[in-house]
Structure 1
């Protein structure tokens, strides 16, 4: 079953760009990555999907229901926005108990468990918290009702490395218990660590949707060579070569395709050194962006 489905989802802000014809289909139990630089349209997509802002055209459903027509579906969603704002004079525990009251169930035990995991002091006032600790409050608030769908928008900003690791472990546990996760980020290593599939968004449009295993499979190679003399221009102008950089007797590029074809080109050069590695997700990501320019 599709937990999230969007069809040509578009949000226009007049002269300002929003999102254009976003099509996503996220399955039950999946951890789905939504990747793009700041301003690419990630938060706009999420807010439109949740019915927090209305789409200009297209549609979005969660568990088969439109969030605008069926706001009750939000009880099954845990949402962590990229920036969190609270009533300053409330204590953390009071705020979380107030949040739990919307779900008509006792979340006291759950709040304490999550606070312990995230090392969150429940007795402090909100206005005494650092940005990172406010983000911890948002994480506990988003998970306290054990939602079936967890939507995370830049969730680790403000968290130190130890808390980031605890957060990843917590989300992994929730996923193993059956929660579907929609994870928006511009930090590629986070997505590489957690997700099954990933969609790249640029200037409001989806430019690529791919399985993580496919992105990381051996068909992509980062090749660097050092020759004994200057490398002839045009020797690597073949299909599959991207991000090519040549300077005098050195060259580096990402290659995807039949490895024999690139080895044939390399064999024409008298080499001093060569390295062939797996590119990281960031290099692959930039490759996709460059293709669209």
Structure 2
């Protein structure tokens, strides 16, 4: 069952079309990745979802009902932006307790568990917090609710790798508990670990939707290899891109859906070294831009 549906949603600022006919469908109990380069329309779309912006056209549905006609919609969502501002003279605990009270959420054991797990010193005033600690307060507050839909816009900005892992664990736990998550992120590895499905937005339009594994046609993998044989013949292959030699090593990008052809071509070579680099989000976008230009 769908929990959130955007049907041909657009937002225009004069002649600027920040979002154009955006249609996505988020199901109950799934993590939905929402990715795209800066300025693609992610934040504009999310602001329409949370009601901070009014759409120019189109409709947003929550559990089948138009959100504009739902009085309790806002109570059923929890949102964390990428850049969090908190009340400077309140402590982290006071902020967390305030949000809990607003939502009528009384599970103090869960609160204390999350504060400990995120290693937050909740006794300090927010004005003393680093960006990462401000982010922790917001993430903890968002998780301490009965909201059916959690919305995160670049949520791990400012967190160290250990805290990123904690966040990932809590998101998966929320999903397993039946909650839905909309995750906007520029970190491909984060999306790969968490998202059941993704949508890629470019210039305000959705260009791909589905499971990341099903979008292999727009990804490339970097290979670094050495051989006792001349590998320059690879440069002329239609699957090879950004071919270059650095010392004894040959670097090239290979289309993910042509890896079998690449492996077949080098099978007769005396390879002495071979490593791969996983695809980066920027590579996916560049590939798509090249294909559509």
Q: TM-score range by the shorter chain?
A: 0.7 to 0.9
Judge conservation of contact 1:107–1:145 (CA < 8 Å) in 2. no
Q: Is 1:57 matched up with 2:54?
A: no
Please give the residue correspondences for 1:82-121 in structure 2 after superposition, counting only pairs within 5 Å.
82-121=82-121
| Deviation for aligned residue 1:216 | 5.9
Using a 3 Å threshold, how does the CA distance of structure 1 residues 151 and 172 change in structure 2: closer, same or farther?
Answer: same
SS of 2:33's equivalent? strand
CA distance in 2, matches of 1:111, 1:260: 50
Q: Is 1:141 matched up with 2:138?
A: no
CA offsets 1:41-88 (integer angstroms, 9 cap, x no match) = 111111111211100111112222333332411212121111111221
CA distance in 2, matches of 1:232, 1:156: 39
SS of 2:156's equivalent? coil
Counterpart of 1:5 in structure 2 is 5
Could you tell me which runs of 5 or more consecutive residues in structure 1 were left unpaired when the two chains were aligned: none
| Deviation for aligned residue 1:175 | 1.2
| Deviation for aligned residue 1:277 | 5.4
Using a 3 Å threshold, how does the CA distance of structure 1 residues 259 and 116 change in structure 2: closer, same or farther?
Answer: closer
CA distance in 2, matches of 1:144, 1:191: 23
Using a 3 Å threshold, how does the CA distance of structure 1 residues 231 and 119 change in structure 2: closer, same or farther?
Answer: same
Counterpart of 1:156 in structure 2 is 156
Using a 3 Å threshold, how does the CA distance of structure 1 residues 223 and 164 change in structure 2: closer, same or farther?
Answer: closer
Using a 3 Å threshold, how does the CA distance of structure 1 residues 263 and 11 change in structure 2: closer, same or farther?
Answer: same
User: TM-score under structure 2 normalisation?
Assistant: 0.84
Counterpart of 1:25 in structure 2 is 25
Give the counterpart of 2:242 among 233, 245, 261.
245
CA distance in 1, matches of 2:131, 2:40: 24
Using a 3 Å threshold, how does the CA distance of structure 1 residues 220 and 123 change in structure 2: closer, same or farther?
Answer: closer
Q: Is 1:280 matched up with 2:282?
A: no
CA distance in 2, matches of 1:262, 1:91: 57
SS of 1:101's equivalent? helix
User: TM-score under structure 1 normalisation?
Assistant: 0.84
CA distance in 2, matches of 1:232, 1:258: 13
CA offsets 1:137-160 (integer angstroms, 9 cap, x no match) = 100111111322111100000111
Counterpart of 1:236 in structure 2 is 237
